[in-house]
Structure 1
Amino acid sequence: MSCNLDQYRLLTGSILAHEMMHAWMRLKGIQTLSQDVEEGICQVLAHMWLDSELRSTSGSNVASSSASRTTKKGTRSPFERKLGEYFKHQIESDTSPVYGNGYRAGQQAVRKYGLERTLDHIRMTGKFPY
């Protein structure tokens, strides 16, 4: 059984993006959010990170290119692309009220208002803009 670095890199990266969003909110003084808003926006960032990784090619940044398995043409391997799409699908199809519904509400807000305006609104109101 071989170790697959693609799996660990994508999963770890998405988890770190999620957790860094928690840290960013604390640094900005955002303390009391409902679970669905807090976990939802963190899931949006994890999904955005995965999407960004899947759109990039091997040479786009040092961290990705050093750990990523790419084809000779510089694109993501079919396995890595499929795995990333699976991780994105897991976020999108989560049925939990906190993570799943929170993600979908956050994603809708970010699509409509953009990330910066959505985060500003969350900071001011504690809720997603609608």
Structure 2
Amino acid sequence: MEMITELYRLTRRCEVTAILILYGLLRLLTGSILAHEMMHAWLRLKGYRTLSPDIEEGICQVLAHMWIESEIMGGSSSNATSTSSSSSSSTSSKKGGRSQFERKLGDFFKHQIESDTSVAYGDGFRAGNQAVLQYGLKRTLEHIRLTGTLPF
């Protein structure tokens, strides 16, 4: 049997068409999941090469953690300057007016990310978070793009 071979260049195109999330989850949990999944989408759309699970899941967990932090620690925001005449109980859910319950819930979700024992999500988060704290998010992402690893 004769085999004919020829060069064929594969072009991989990655498109993100949707992010699916369960309905009915708590606001902070929904937001952190969206931040995590949007980071996956951003990495794909920006052409990051195939990353190891600990790098990719870790940096996505860093973004989820950062989002929760911004929500529970955020002081005044553009919401605080709203001139809406319907200032009902919904104003207590705006930044700067978080209930103690929501702050504690956010702290719990952050703790879950910080103490995760899995290699990809837990160890990946701790390494990624250390890099972001040391070098900043932009420089960390640039290093990941260039090398596929975290800066140390």
Using the size of structure 1 for normalisation, the TM-score is 0.84
Shift of 1:70: 1.8
Tell me what 1:122 maps to.
144
Moved over 2 A (4+): 57-62
Tell me what 2:113 maps to.
91
Provide the rounded CA distance (Å) in 1 between the counterparts of 2:90 and 2:39: 24
Higher Cα Rg: structure 1 or 2?
A: 2
How do residues 59-70 of structure 1 correspond to structure 2 at under 5 angstroms? 60-61=78-79, 70=92
Structure 2 gaps of 5+ residues are 1-23, 81-88
Which is bigger in relative contact order (C-alpha 8 A, separation at least 6)?
1
Q: Is 1:57–1:76's contact at 8 Å kept on the other side of the alignment?
A: no
Matched, 1:35 2:57: no
SS in 1 for 2:119: coil
Q: 1:14 to 1:31 in 2, by over 3 A?
A: same
Q: Over residues 74-113 of structure 1, what are the superposed CA-to-partner deviations in whole Å (9 max), with x where a residue is unaligned?
A: 5210110000000000000000011000000000100110
**For the aligned residues, what is the CA RMSD?**
2.4
Structure 1 gaps of 5+ residues are none
> What percentage of residue pairs aligned between the two structures are identical?
69
How do residues 14-29 of structure 1 correspond to structure 2 at under 5 angstroms? 14-29=32-47
Using the size of structure 2 for normalisation, the TM-score is 0.72
Q: Which has the higher helix share?
A: 1
Matched, 1:80 2:102: yes
Q: Is 2:28–2:106's contact at 8 Å kept on the other side of the alignment?
A: yes
